[in-house]
Amino acid sequence: MSNIILSIAMLGTVLINSCSSQQNAKKKATIKVATAISNPIVEVYADYIGMKNSLTNDNADSAAAYAKNF
């Protein structure tokens, strides 16, 4: 039960940070923290956000790496 609550809290943190206008470095740090938890949903979401951010920044190599993990 605590894993589910922790996962929801981390997912909420990632959602809030990805929707705000904070710097990319802070977003990347949040995603790294989220992927440290071994939860498939959080890992898939982190790869999706990484891929989206890479495509937004026109970084094809990074987007391909995230897509491979996704």
H-helix segments, 1-70? 2-19, 24-36, 40-56, 60-69
Amino acid 66 reads Y
Q: How many helices (H) and strands (E) does the chain have?
A: 4, 0
Is pLDDT larger for residue 12 or for residue 19?
12
Q: Which residue has the tokens 């939860």?
A: 39
- pLDDT-derived band at 6 (thresholds 50, 70, 90) equals low
Over residues 32-47, mean pLDDT: 72
Contact between 57 and 45 (Cβ < 8 Å): no
pLDDT recorded at residue 57 = 93
- Residue type at 19 in one-letter notation: C
This prediction has a pTM of 0.45
